[in-house]
Amino acid sequence: MPLHQYVYFALSSRRTTAQEITDALGIEPDETKVVNPRGLPVDPANPFCQIWKVVCREPGLGVDEQIAHVLGRLRPKTDRIAELMKQFNSAEDEEEPGLEARLEVVRYFNDDEQQDETGQPEERDKRNLFGWALDREAIAFLAATGAFLDVDEYDMTPSPPSD
The answer to whether 134 and 88 have CB atoms below 8 angstroms apart is: no
Of all helices (H) and strands (E), which one includes residue 146? Answer: none
SS3 160: coil
Which stretches of the chain are assigned E, i.e. beta strand?
A: 3-13, 31-35, 49-56, 100-109, 148-155
**Residue-wise pLDDT tens for the chain (163 aa)?**
788 999 999 999 988 889 999 999 999 999 999 887 556 666 655 567 899 999 999 999 999 999 999 999 999 999 999 999 999 888 665 666 789 999 999 999 986 765 444 445 455 456 778 889 999 999 999 999 999 999 999 998 888 887 6
pTM score, whole prediction? 0.82
